[in-house]
Structure 1
Amino acid sequence: MLNQLPDIQTACVELSIVMPCLNEAETLETCINKAQYYLAQQDISGEIIVADNGSTDGSQGIAKQMGARVVPIKAKGYGSALMGGISAARGQYIIMGDADDSYDFTNLTPFIKKLREGYDLVMGNRFKGGIKPGAMPPLHRYLGNPVLTFIGRLLFPAPCGDFHCGLRGFRKDAIEQLNLRTTGMEFASEMVVKATLHKMRITEVPTTLSPDGRSRPPHLRSWRDGWRHLRFMLLYSPRWLFLYPGGLLMLLGLIITLWLLPGSRGIFDIHTLLFAATAIIVGFQAVAFAIFTKIFAISEGLLPEDNRLNKVFRYINLEVGLIVGSILLLLGITGSIYAFGIWKVHLFGSLKPSQTMRIVIPSVTCLALGFEVILSSFFLSVLGLKRQ
């Protein structure tokens, strides 16, 4: 129990070791013992916090008996427990790790060294440090973690080879700036994603993963929690969720439309032209959603300010949107009147669709886009007022 600081008035705590806990009576004492040994051996002024998420197996009593601080967290979830523990921590640095004895709390020096060098977030990497036999299910080791980490690094330029390692260290003041919110397992991804978006200093150190010491099944649910991680990363990347797919749809639709306007191309005719026009409209909606999402997320503090977006909006405003939308409407109305004139010439009788639809489809597309541009411009102005 050396170097424990139960007195809340004790000053100058360098390190807080935070362990989220939900029914970890089998392994909690071992984890606390290891953490206490490390603090004593390294002569670090520190504390051990057990963020208890409603244990019913006596974990709280074990933690108190060992001299750790117990912070009860009512809101359920891995993220909730960690947020409560981080908030209660008094240390300049925080190292979080699971209380299932899968991580070695006697070997935290690589994390402390990097934190003292000025890094804001130090991630453990189990694939570099070693995964002992039976420590990670094959589904997680060869599919779940590698795929989610690849997607995370694709969507966000994070220098992390293991997005979901449960052992990591960080500066408390830096992490508090991120306004972390997720309550479940996706909390692990949120921390990395937001730290990357805020351009914090991030590095990683090798970490060994051992089989946990519990006899009960883990709280993690592979497919459910994997989907929650993926969903979170997509929602925090409007570019990949909306902008890139929407831009691609618009480009392909425009190319096919221009290709088919002069006449049919083998088996491709007005039916293909109709699908191309639909792709343009759907693509524009996706791009608009990307902008809406980005501005809303920034105004709510979910994403940091984007200087590139601010520069764009210096030139694109409500007035410009109204002008562009009005031009599209005018083109659509003109094309519709021209098509109506052709119908009138034929005494409102039957027409050859392969000819007239090449006028009608682009005209209707311009009308739809014109209305969408005008409505989107007004909505963006409303979001802009909220940001101010």
Structure 2
Amino acid sequence: MIDVVLPCLNEAAALPAVLAGLPDGYRAIVADNGSTDGSGDVARAHGAHVVAVPQRGFGAAAHAGLLAATSDVVCFADADGSFDLTQLPRVADPVLARHADLVLGRRRPRTAAAWPAHARLANAVLAWRMRSNLRVAIHDLGPMRAARRDALLALNLRDRRFGYPLEMIVAAARAGWHVGEVDVDYAPRAEGTRSKVTGTVLGTARAVRDMSKVLAR
């Protein structure tokens, strides 16, 4: 069994289809970060293990899900319907085979609307900084990803906001991990859900601010 951590804030409209896409042998851990739309109840009704995370912040939810996981290899993905979870083996299999320590899903948008220009540009700049500063050959920060649970915990990640995904890559690179990248499909968010990051310029700016603080440390 492979645990899949799904940080969640008001994703009730997306969760049924998201959870239906889990491949055999994968278990969803929905880290509910204070949803007010019944996301936790929806997740439970569709077979997910739900962890209530009162501390607000994407990183707080992601890390709480990691702590709740019990599998050797753990995956992460967004809960908004933008990823096809049937593709989780693309990121998990290289880790299971020990061909890589951390694998990121490089987003390949299905439509132009899937990834707004401002968010794509910010991601490209951060990925370029990773290649330049840490010699990590990635082109996307890859919200869909996989690594071994005990190794992730040993990285001692501290960020509890939007810098958490980047901190994971930075800490892995500094620890000498082999970081890999595979293509995954990227679709528009499920109808009836609202982006906390890429949907607005302000949200993207906040994420870049949090991530820049990680790079500055």
Q: TM-score, normalised on structure 2?
A: 0.93
Q: Is the 2:109–2:115 contact (alpha carbons within 8 Å) kept by the matching residues of 1?
A: no
Secondary structure of 1:71's aligned partner: strand
Shift of 1:131: 4.6
Q: Distance in 2 between matches of 1:64 and 1:216?
A: 19
SS in 1 for 2:185: coil
Matched residues in 1 for 2:215 and 2:175: separation? 15
Partner of 1:18: 5
- Structure 2 counterpart of 1:53, from 33, 39, 47: 33
Structure 1 residue aligned with 2:200: none
1:7-45 CA-partner distances (Å, limit 9, x unpaired): xxxxxxx3001111111001011111111xx11xxxx3x
1:84 corresponds, among 56, 64, 72, to 64
Question: Aligned pair in 2 of structure 1 residues 224, 51: CA closer, same or farther (>3 Å)?
Answer: same
1: distance between equivalents of 2:96 and 2:3? Answer: 14
The question of whether the paired residues in 2 share the 8 Å contact of 1:100 and 1:214 is answered with no
Q: Which of these residues, 64, 89, 109, is aligned with residue 44 of structure 2? A: 64
CA distance in 1, matches of 2:144, 2:43: 19
Change (3 A) 1:193 1:23: same
Structure whose residues are more often strand by fraction: 2
Q: Which runs of 4 or more aligned residues in structure 1 lie more than 4 Å from their structure 2 counterparts after TM superposition?
A: none
Aligned to 1:139: 118
- Structure 2 spans left out of the alignment, 5+ residues: 198-202
Q: Distance in 1 between matches of 2:79 and 2:194?
A: 14
What's 1:158 paired with? Answer: 136
Return the index of the structure with the highest Cα Rg. Answer: 1
Partner amino acid, structure 1, of 2:176? K
Is 1:125 aligned with 2:106? Answer: yes
Larger RCO, structure (CA 8 Å, separation 6 or more): 2
Identity of aligned residues (%): 32
Distance 1:69 1:213, change over 3 A: same
1:169 is the counterpart of 2:146: yes
2:60 partner letter? S
Amino acid at match of 2:105: G
Q: What TM-score does the superposition give when structure 1 sets the normalisation length?
A: 0.53
Q: Distance in 2 between matches of 1:162 and 1:137?
A: 14
Any unmatched runs of 5+ in structure 1?
1-13, 236-388
Count matched residues: 211
- Which has a greater percent of helix? 1
